[in-house]
A and B are shown apart, each in its own frame.
Chain A
Amino acid sequence: MSTPVLEHPRESDRLDPAAFADAAASERDVAPLRAAIDRSCRGPVLWFFGSAVTWLIIGTVFALLASIKLHTPTFLGSAAWLTFGRVRPAHLDVVAFGWSAMAGLGCLIWLMCRLCRVPLRYPGVLVAAAVLWNVGVASGVTAVLAGYSTGVEWVEFPTWCAFILFIGFALVGLWGMMTFAGRRAGHVYVSQWYLFAVIFWFPWVYASVQILVLVSPVKGVTQESIHWWFGHNVLGVFFTPIGLATIYYLIPKVIGRPIHSYYLSILGFWSLALFYNWAGAHHLVSGPIPAWLVTVSAVCSMMMFIPVTTTAINHHMTMRGHFGVLRYSPTLRFVVFGAMTYTVVSFQGSLMSIRILNEPFHFTHHTIAHAHLGLYGFYTMVMFGAMYYIVPRLTGREWASSKLIRTHFWATAIGITAMFLLLSVGGMIQGFEMNHAARPLGELVKEKGLLDGTGEFFKGFKMKNGAVPFLAIVRDTIPWLWIRSGTGVLMFVGHVAFAVLMLLNLTGRGPKRQGPTLFSKDTDGYQRAFGSEESPAHTH
């Protein structure tokens, strides 16, 4: 059965106002289709989003516990299941595979339907995937807390839990390919390339690390090369492409402008595909592995400047002249915050893979700060923005409280910025002290009396070479760890605000609103920024 292929109006059509108007008119007709798509997406996407936000709260609680235990190790110190070595991986796995993955898959599903211009078919398959994913994460986290972690960072879940996750992902992937094959849009938009790539790449990396490191391990340190190829690729070929796909959709969507350059999109996509997944061994600089492995990863990590700069220019030039919209739109504010952070954290990461810049920061809290800037400052903020956009379209209800949205934004934005900056400082201090003599040893000993009375075994302990004693390094990082706990509390407040908003929206409680829930109540300014509601073809 032949269905009309719906083309986007192209900028070149401006030269022919009639063609442009026709295209714009056909866009108006797309509104019922959009409504149909949204209605069909409702069950599966809300399953993923609702689960994701629940995991976010749980993961943030684990995060606070881990953070507190780093400076106050006796806090809840007698509970075996909460010992730092278990609650820290529990935090990582919940926020990665619970919150981040499920938020991302929810976005993937909705974006695929919208961009393919077809309503969602076989919702039962996707709901089953969501249920399986929840089961996998819940059982995996329980196993970690009970002491059955595999000991491989990012892959702590026992293999049988990972298998459940794999099946869930495979269901979403198959659905995605079928939906793509049945698309009604003639032109494949850049977001779809990224989502398509995720569907294909993630099962490959996940299966590889499970088989080659856990089930039938390769011998020796090659395990660590594969391990960190996976660890970096969770960010590189799962979360980053979904985040970029979402940004590429939402920025032009909210402001009504085309993406600046199709050619930059192509350059950005293929350079990311080529370079990102070579970068893994930069986690192993100076490690017991062949030097060439670290070098190729360092080179490809630096090559990442290409896709990141390209994407940054594309997004910035699209936004140019419309930054005023950021005052009003929660979606855009979260998404643009994430997009800008993507540029910053990627530049930082590329530079840190050069050996001389890696050595002071390796094994320190600086790395942790960088990881949070990426997975939270970029990806999580983009996911927040996406949920602010998508959920009202699925439930038909606007967000209940502008105040809660403002709380959410400022708490999380200030929280992650402070956490990144201040924890990085702590990590730099840690790294420099670990690598060099920071102060003359005699001065340290006199000042703090650190080395006296540390137990009979170490009486008279003295470092002959002037390096900073390890316990002094620990002592010097503690204030920064306290600050990090504070920023974590702030972020938790933001998450609670968001969870309340989600709950109110999903259950239909809270004040009923007519228009969008925005940051600012200045409706005239909003009208000027967004243009008339009657005109979906927003001309600049």
Chain B
Amino acid sequence: MSDVTTKPALDPESVAPADGPPEKHDVAALHAPIMREKLDPRDGYEPVPLWLVAAFGILVFWGGWYLATYSGGFRSDVLDEDPAVRYAGMAGNAGGAGGTDPVVLGSRIYSGNCVSCHQQSGQGVPGQYPPLAGSEWVAGSPARLARLILHGVEGPIQVKGAAYNSAMPPLGGKLTDGQVAAVLTFVRTNAEWGNTAGAVTAEQVAAARAATRGRAAPMTEAELLAVTAEDVAPATKPAAGGGAPK
């Protein structure tokens, strides 16, 4: 230890041994960064400013309000950012499909199921997928259209004077009667596409589904053209849009 003071000032090896209590050495023997260090960090004891506490109190108050307003009663079926979220304890909103306007609902179902073949413009793809705009099929019998959507179409089919021969998949297993009615309503009443037919009700779709229950194969053109009479709804009910009879 006694020869520490003779070692060069910047030599790290001149530092005290790693264990044992600190010993008094000539501080010049220790390397420079240690030497110029200031006191170790220590605490001051200034008080917490009152305005800060007040500000935090306001923040806590806000937090409590937000929690009470936007928690949807802590239910698991009130999902984030449904309108029901705004009011604690309100019934859950499982869906949010856009209200009861069948045209709006129908346009969304169309975008989600039909657009890839029949296109957003309703023009289809020449030679491959028939157009819906100005189509005589769209303007025809709802009973026929319901069967077309529920079971799909296969085989040659003439639309607006052109021949098509692709397969349209059945959608009856995926869409409810209300959804089929909505998308048909959307297509049939779409003025941009030149379609001016009337709406289709969920009851009409339900009747078509009931009349063809058990059918597994897609429809053919001949079978569809044979559907001329309107199906009779099982009981007269006011037409409703968007509902799902289950």
| Residues in chain A within 8 A of chain B (CB atoms) | 3-4, 8-12, 24, 27-36, 38-40, 114-115, 119, 187, 189-191, 248-249, 252-265, 267, 284-296, 298-300, 302-303, 305-306, 309-310, 313, 317-318, 355, 392-393, 395-396, 398, 456-464, 514-516, 530, 533, 536-538
Q: Once the chains bind, are B52 and A309 in contact (CB under 8 Å)?
A: yes
Smallest Cβ distance from B61 to chain A, in angstroms? Answer: 11
Of all chain B residues, the one with the shortest Cβ separation from A250 is B41
Of all chain B residues, the one with the shortest Cβ separation from A356 is B81
Cα–Cα, bound, A302→B55 (Å):
13
Smallest Cβ distance from A249 to chain B, in angstroms? Answer: 5
Known: A8-B43, A296-B67. A290 touches B72 (CB 8 A): yes
Known: A291-B72, A303-B63, A516-B36. A189 touches B41 (CB 8 A): yes
CB-defined A-B contacts under 8 Å, sample of 22: A4-B21, A30-B40, A31-B27, A35-B34, A36-B19, A119-B19, A191-B41, A253-B41, A261-B43, A262-B45, A263-B47, A264-B46, A291-B81, A293-B80, A295-B66, A295-B72, A298-B70, A306-B59, A310-B52, A318-B44, A395-B12, A459-B125
The answer, among B27, B48, B59, B67, for a CB contact under 8 Å with A28, is B27
Please give, as numbers and ranges, the residues of chain A lying within 8 Å of B49 by CB-CB distance. 313
Q: Once the chains bind, are A393 and B34 in contact (CB under 8 Å)?
A: yes
Please give, as numbers and ranges, the residues of chain B lying within 8 Å of A34 by CB-CB distance. 34, 37
Q: Once the chains bind, are A258 and B34 in contact (CB under 8 Å)?
A: no
Of all chain B residues, the one with the shortest Cβ separation from A191 is B41
Smallest Cβ distance from A121 to chain B, in angstroms? Answer: 8
Of all chain B residues, the one with the shortest Cβ separation from A253 is B41
List 3 A-B pairs, minimum CB-CB distance, nearest first. Answer: A256-B38, A396-B12, A8-B42
Of all chain A residues, the one with the shortest Cβ separation from B23 is A32
Q: Once the chains bind, are B52 and A8 in contact (CB under 8 Å)?
A: no
Q: Once the chains bind, are B43 and A516 in contact (CB under 8 Å)?
A: no
Cα–Cα, bound, A515→B31 (Å):
11
The 0/1 profile, CB within 8 Å of A marked 1, for residues 53-87 of chain B is 00110011011001100111111111111100100
Q: Which residues 221-239 of B sit at the A interface, judged by CB distance below 8 A? A: none
Cα–Cα, bound, A183→B123 (Å):
79
Cα–Cα, bound, A309→B36 (Å):
32
Of all chain A residues, the one with the shortest Cβ separation from B11 is A396
Q: Once the chains bind, are A254 and B63 in contact (CB under 8 Å)?
A: no
Extra contacts, 18 of them, besides A298-B66, A396-B31 (Cβ < 8 A), are A32-B23, A32-B24, A35-B16, A115-B40, A190-B43, A258-B42, A260-B44, A285-B80, A285-B81, A286-B80, A292-B75, A292-B78, A296-B71, A300-B63, A310-B52, A457-B125, A514-B10, A536-B37
Q: Across the A-B interface, how many residue pairs have beta carbons closer than 8 Å?
A: 224
Smallest Cβ distance from B231 to chain A, in angstroms? Answer: 31
Smallest Cβ distance from A497 to chain B, in angstroms? Answer: 21
The residue among B22, B66, B67, B77 with the most chain A CB atoms within 10 A of its own CB is B22
Please give, as numbers and ranges, the residues of chain B lying within 8 Å of A284 by CB-CB distance. 80
Known: A36-B17, A296-B67, A313-B52. A262 touches B80 (CB 8 A): no
Please give, as numbers and ranges, the residues of chain B lying within 8 Å of A295 by CB-CB distance. 66-67, 70-72, 85
Of all chain B residues, the one with the shortest Cβ separation from A266 is B48
**B166 at interface, CB cutoff 8 A:** no
Cα–Cα, bound, A464→B35 (Å):
74
Known: A290-B75, A292-B75, A536-B37. A299 touches B48 (CB 8 A): no
Q: Once the chains bind, are B30 and A35 in contact (CB under 8 Å)?
A: yes
The residue among A32, A119, A289 with the most chain B CB atoms within 10 A of its own CB is A32
Q: Once the chains bind, are A9 and B42 in contact (CB under 8 Å)?
A: yes
The residue among A34, A35, A306 with the most chain B CB atoms within 10 A of its own CB is A35
Q: Once the chains bind, are B12 and A39 in contact (CB under 8 Å)?
A: yes
Q: Once the chains bind, are B22 and A33 in contact (CB under 8 Å)?
A: yes
Q: Once the chains bind, are A460 and B121 in contact (CB under 8 Å)?
A: yes
Known: A290-B75, A290-B78. A302 touches B59 (CB 8 A): yes
Please give, as numbers and ranges, the residues of chain A lying within 8 Å of B19 by CB-CB distance. 36, 119
Q: Once the chains bind, are A262 and B44 in contact (CB under 8 Å)?
A: yes
Cα–Cα, bound, A249→B192 (Å):
69
Q: Once the chains bind, are B62 and A27 in contact (CB under 8 Å)?
A: no
Of all chain A residues, the one with the shortest Cβ separation from B45 is A262
Q: Which residues 103-121 of B sit at the A interface, judged by CB distance below 8 A? A: 107, 119-121
Please give, as numbers and ranges, the residues of chain A lying within 8 Å of B75 by CB-CB distance. 290, 292
Of all chain A residues, the one with the shortest Cβ separation from B53 is A267
Smallest Cβ distance from B24 to chain A, in angstroms? Answer: 7
Q: Once the chains bind, are B120 and A463 in contact (CB under 8 Å)?
A: yes
Please give, as numbers and ranges, the residues of chain A lying within 8 Å of B63 by CB-CB distance. 299-300, 302-303
Cα–Cα, bound, A8→B45 (Å):
13
Please give, as numbers and ranges, the residues of chain B lying within 8 Å of A3 by CB-CB distance. 21
**B244 at interface, CB cutoff 8 A:** no
**B162 at interface, CB cutoff 8 A:** no
Q: Once the chains bind, are B39 and A24 in contact (CB under 8 Å)?
A: yes
The answer, among A40, A115, A303, A395, for a CB contact under 8 Å with B60, is A303
Of all chain A residues, the one with the shortest Cβ separation from B190 is A464
Please give, as numbers and ranges, the residues of chain A lying within 8 Å of B40 by CB-CB distance. 8, 27, 30, 114-115, 253
Please give, as numbers and ranges, the residues of chain B lying within 8 Å of A29 by CB-CB distance. 22, 24
Please give, as numbers and ranges, the residues of chain A lying within 8 Å of B27 by CB-CB distance. 28, 31-32
Cα–Cα, bound, A306→B38 (Å):
30
Q: Once the chains bind, are A259 and B18 in contact (CB under 8 Å)?
A: no
Q: Once the chains bind, are A8 and B39 in contact (CB under 8 Å)?
A: yes
Q: Once the chains bind, are B34 and A261 in contact (CB under 8 Å)?
A: no
Q: Once the chains bind, are B67 and A291 in contact (CB under 8 Å)?
A: no
Cα–Cα, bound, A189→B37 (Å):
18
Please give, as numbers and ranges, the residues of chain B lying within 8 Å of A288 by CB-CB distance. 79-80
Q: Once the chains bind, are A39 and B18 in contact (CB under 8 Å)?
A: yes
Known: A119-B19, A461-B119. A396 touches B46 (CB 8 A): no
Smallest Cβ distance from B179 to chain A, in angstroms? Answer: 19
Q: Once the chains bind, are A462 and B121 in contact (CB under 8 Å)?
A: yes
Smallest Cβ distance from B79 to chain A, in angstroms? Answer: 6
Smallest Cβ distance from B125 to chain A, in angstroms? Answer: 7
**B25 at interface, CB cutoff 8 A:** yes
